[in-house]
Structure 1
């Protein structure tokens, strides 16, 4: 990624209060050239090191607030990771500022709560689309705009899970702004939000697979900005069976890293065929 390709020229007439970013992004403290074209987005900053442990090489390039960014390589493919903290507001800031320095592919990597029996603790959920139950994406676009994952990213994540032999499920995710009331859990002293008693069952009837808190905003913004995005989460809790274990944390990270390498193969195949967009008929480049 060259500086010429990745740098975003600011409007000299825009006041600094409206766009506080110069060469270095205000929240992430990254500049063009600090990050690869593809970035993994975990929530917890502590997951950054766990993700990069599986790479060929890596280096932390920025750390500010909840945002920790490292860049390196996986299977000889350039790759970066930026933690986003909990929830869609901070995830949207990460998407905004990464887009400004030239990133074109974003993969949410995290944990989730499944609401279907077949998604066991330790399995992976690959998001095809998301229910926009969070409020951040509403600040950007009308509420009936879909939060859909890029088909190439979904395909790469599925291929990665197959290569690695991990159990996975593909489907619709519900993204919320609350771990408790927004996901139908009781609040402090048993508080119950209006409609929370029916929430899980209503989503189950709509064939939704899981709850998490960032995917819908990431997917919505990526689509608005013409970027590729997807999400893969390890199941920590199954809300139907009552199981909860922090198990298989590194599975999602491994699958997402492998998917970045596979996306590079897809891009090579498209370039070799002289087309702008990869499709399954092209196979994978070597």
Structure 2
């Protein structure tokens, strides 16, 4: 097995988000899944001021977030439709208000990894600095009440290991899934200031599947018992796991490799120790899904205010 890849710092002191020497030699870089490119768009003009990239699975939810963040930051434009910057492709939807980008990532590690590859290159081409990436989403809880917001301490694989494995050129490459603990603490403090919903920090299991990978009994296939499931979930709980989702290891590994600050903030829709299916009403689920947006919106406003004072 190859050794974990380590972050490298640009000797000039500026961010070096892209760790691919081939990119510099490219005449044009087409960000295919974003419908953007260095030859067709003025990326520094469009994105040079970006400081926060917030991402979630659903295009609809990310449009709602940009509308919300526009109000929070006092940048609301009654005439604006907040157009999808990635219009022309149905892979991802991207919106922008001031220094905040809101982009969908689809479902699962493969989908979010594609998006992150291209967004990290986008930040590079645009000359962005001091960028924070935050995944806001939903998850299955573990021993916490539905509606609890979990700020991830460590992203773990299905064996409770803080790593993401990927096959590259036929070899297994292992990447660390450490997240910025300072950022996690800052987000937790913001939740305390809001005092609107229960928030905890804990480990997050990231799986490659929604059903068997998450020890559900209700998929099309299942080769284990309720007892087996409970034993696995209790072992996860003993490992400090508070929730289960499908993107955290990619966020942690890729942002760690790029030197980008990153966080994963997910609300729990159910307690997996008590069942497998989401049974809450649509209205309750909508309220739950707003909590990560409220928390991250408060954090961004606080950070921008602090930077304005310092500046």
Tell me if TM exceeds 0.5.
yes
Unmatched tracts of structure 2, length 5 or more: 1-14, 71-75
SS state at 1:53 partner: helix
Q: 1:40 aligns with which of 51, 54, 60?
A: 54
1:129-168 matched pairs, under 5 angstroms: 129-133=154-158, 137-139=165-167, 142-143=173-174, 145-165=175-195, 166-168=197-199
For residue 66 of structure 1, give the secondary structure of its aligned residue in structure 2.
coil
Shift in Å, 1:267: 5.3
Alpha-carbon separation, structure 1, partners of 2:150 and 2:296:
12
Do the aligned residues in 2 keep the contact of 1:128 with 1:154 (CA within 8 Å)? yes
Cα displacement string for residues 23-46 of structure 1 (whole angstroms, at most 9, x for unaligned residues): x51111245244423110101111
> Using a 3 Å threshold, how does the CA distance of structure 1 residues 7 and 200 change in structure 2: closer, same or farther?
closer
Structure 2 match to 1:27 = 33
Q: Using the alignment, how far apart are the partners of 2:217 and 2:265 within structure 1? A: 26
SS in 2 for 1:174: strand
**How much does 1:216 deviate?**
1.1
Other-structure match for 1:62: 86
Q: Give the Cα–Cα distance (whole angstroms) in 2 for the partners of residues 172 and 262 of structure 1.
A: 25
1:213 to 214, 233, 246: 246
Instruction: Return the offset for 1:241.
Output: 3.1
Cα drift, residue 80 of structure 1: 1.0
RMSD: 3.2
For normalisation by structure 1, the TM-score amounts to 0.77
TM-score (ref. length: structure 2)? 0.71
| 1:92 correspondence with 2:113 | yes
* SS of equivalent residue, structure 2 residue 182: helix
Match of 1:222 in 2: 255
- The number of equivalent residue pairs is 255
Q: Tell me whether 1:185 sits opposite 2:185 in the alignment.
A: no
SS in 1 for 2:59: coil
Change (3 A) 1:187 1:55: same
Residue 6 to residue 80, structure 1, CA distance change in 2 (3 Å):
farther
Contact 1:115 1:208 in 2 (8 A): yes
